[in-house]
Amino acid sequence: MKQEEEEEETPTPRTPRASAAAYNLVLAIMSKRRTWVCLFVLVYATLLSSSWNWLKTILFWFKQQESQASSASEWPALYASVLLGAVFGLLSMVAALAVAVPATLVIWITVVVMLTFFGKAEKGFGC
């Protein structure tokens, strides 16, 4: 009876070890440069694929409007050009953010490190 109570009260040590092993595995994978390159390529491939599908949809809509219009109206062409510009503009902004955010982080880290080491001298550094 006492053995059963002791077995129930003691937590299984496998859970923390398993989560620690999983954390270490994720940390090891994410510390590799090729992992980040693969994630970068995957995100850009998804963006390009979705924008390509949008472009095909817009052009299909334009051709459909053009074939249905009895008079030579210029409104579908204007709508299509605005939508195409919006798609390319959004894609360009996402690409710019993907480059600007890591660059900004590196600059901020550099500024903090420089302020730390080249700022006011501390007594503990022998100055």
- pLDDT tens track for 8-30: 555 554 566 778 888 887 777 77
- Going by C-beta distance under 8 Å and a sequence separation of 6 or more, which residues neighbour residue 84? 55, 58
Structure tokens at 99: 């480059």
- pLDDT tens track for 50-90: 878 888 888 888 888 777 766 566 777 778 788 888 878 88
The structure's pTM equals 0.43
